[in-house]
A = this chain, B = another copy of it.
Amino acid sequence: MAQIPEPPAPSSAVPSAAPTSADVARLAGVSRATVSYVLNNSSAVRISEATRRRVQEAAEELGYVPHAAARSLRAGHSRMVLMPSPSVPAGPLYSQFFNDLQWALGRLDYTVVQYGGMGLRGDEAARAWAELRPVAVIVPGGGLGPQGVHVLKRSGARAVVIMGPECIEGAHTLLLDHGEVGHSAGVHLLARGRRRIGVVTPREPGLDAFSGPRLDGVRRAVDGTAATVTELPLAYREDAAAGLAGRWRSLGLDAVFTYNDEYAQLLMRALQDERVSVPDETAVVGADDLMLGRLLRPRLSTVHIELPSGQDLAELVDRAVRDPACAPRVHDSLGARVVHRESS
């Protein structure tokens, strides 16, 4: 099967096809098997130093890069940990967590891949993720049913970790009960003697998954007391905040819990521009304990959220991967506690 050599490609044009291990083998004058042994440092077999060097030089010269898909197809598994990216731009809290996690999993020799699920919902998305045959999947936020988990496991995922409000059959769950966040805030405000509590919820779409439970948490806290809860939808814009602040006194509230510290900053600024005094007239409590809260005057009281560390989650994933028999557990995480500063 004589092969006509291709003409040398012009240097700036599209380079000829990527070299395969067969090309390396040919150049080194050995078989593909030998190439594989050398390049993977296979300990099951001893290769002479001379051959080893010839292969390595050939690989270097051709700029050989192994084909991950072919490899994992053959191996029947990969070390890819898949993490669908959230559909809304993540906050600083999440970014930090994700970075830690990525680093920690990297140290354990996993490859973290953040995948744009794009519009697919729940069990639909699970199918798309399963096509990649990841060894583990970490799903931030809910929306994945037992069906989806099953699909993933069937397709080879040895661990499915859900970070969300409810635990799902078959999956490890990091129970992130955002209700606790609102609840803490509510309890705190009640204890400070506040009775008419406003709750700012973002008008921005996609945040409902968090803001809903946080609101409910406040409701739960005041349940059975004489206090009231008023929902205050607010877009993250100056004019919207000014509007809300403008009719603030007519609302007759003596406290407000905002979705997070950023909304608190927005509202507090608008209230101050309206000469509504904080905390005397209205107490303000934010959430997420961002740095900016410490920089406000008065300093912002906030609900600190203790996420599991990236390190911890990485270890959980690794354990589950190595021992798939290990029963999916529910981990009650997300400690929420109020950091009392000056605004309440």
Given A151-B65, A170-B11, A156-B18 contact (CB < 8 Å): yes
Q: Is A103 an interface residue (CB 8 A)?
A: yes
Name the B residues within 8 Å of A96 (CB-CB). Answer: 89
A211-260 residues at the B interface, CB under 8 angstroms: 236, 238
Q: Are B133 and A295 in contact (CB-based, < 8 A)?
A: no
Distance between Cα atoms of A156 and B150 in the complex (Å): 34
A114-126, CB under 8 A of B: which get 1 and which 0? Answer: 1110110000000
In the complex, whether A50 has a CB less than 8 A from a CB of chain B is: no
Chain B's closest residue to A65 (CB) is B130
Would A111 and B115 count as touching, CB distance under 8 A? yes
Asked if A85 and B63 make an inter-chain contact with CB atoms under 8 angstroms apart, the answer reads: no
Residue among A68, A133, A262, A291 having the largest count of chain B Cβ atoms under 10 Å: A68
Q: Bin chain A's interface residue count.
A: 35 or more
Asked if B102 contacts A111 (CB within 8 A), the reply is no
B114 near A85 with CB under 8 A, answer yes
Do A116 and B118 have beta carbons less than 8 Å apart?
A: no
A67 to chain B, nearest CB (A): 6
Q: Which residues of B contact A295 (CB under 8 A)?
A: 238, 265-266, 269
> Lowest 6 CB-CB distances: which A-B pairs, in order?
A106-B118, A114-B114, A69-B69, A112-B116, A68-B131, A15-B154
Chain A residues in the interface with B (C-beta under 8 A): 11-19, 63, 65-70, 72-73, 78, 85, 88-90, 92, 95-96, 98-99, 102-103, 105-106, 111-116, 118-119, 127, 130-133, 150-151, 153-156, 158, 169-170, 236, 238, 262, 265-266, 269, 291-292, 294-295, 297, 324-325, 327-328
